[in-house]
Amino acid sequence: MKYMLMMFGDAATMMETKSPEWIQEMMAFMLQLDKDLKESGELVFDLGLADGSAAKTVRLQSGDAVTTDGQVAGPGASLIGFWVVNVENEARALEIASQIVEYAGVVEVRPVPDAPPEM
């Protein structure tokens, strides 16, 4: 079963509140996690995203698509990276997320179905 593990936060807050040593430790952890998931065959793909301050948001207003600077979520609640894993069960996805949460504060785990729901 595939799951998406989503990590939230923002780079500016991390840089202001965390020590350089903590940031290096977090980066080493993320690199090792990626390596371990690749070696186990569980990693489908993963990506880190640019800080939310670089985001553009497109909304429909009065029938027109309107683009504004900024992210949908407020600071700290922005998606900053994700993994898609193919694991045996939800328990394994939650086990992986429980490792990430030490550095992320919150990780959302969501199933990725193979097809849209039947109507």
**CATH 3.40.50.1100 assigned to 2-112:** no
Q: What is the DSSP string of 41-61?
A: T-EEEEEE---GGG-EEEEEE
pLDDT in tens, 23-80: 999 999 999 999 999 999 999 999 988 877 788 889 999 999 999 888 776 666 788 8
* pLDDT number for residue 76: 61
- Position with higher pLDDT, 37 vs 115: 37
Contact present, 11 and 109 (Cβ < 8 Å): no
Task: Report residue 54 CA to chain centroid gap.
Answer: 16
Query: For the chain, which residues make up each domain, given as ranges?
Result: 2-112
Q: Structure pTM? A: 0.84
**Pair 28, 103: CB distance under 8 Å:** no
Using N-to-C axis directions, what is the helix angle for 20-40 and 90-104, rounded to 10°?
A: 160
The residues that bridge with 111 in the sheet, in sequence order, are 3
The strand pairing partners of 24, in sequence order, are none
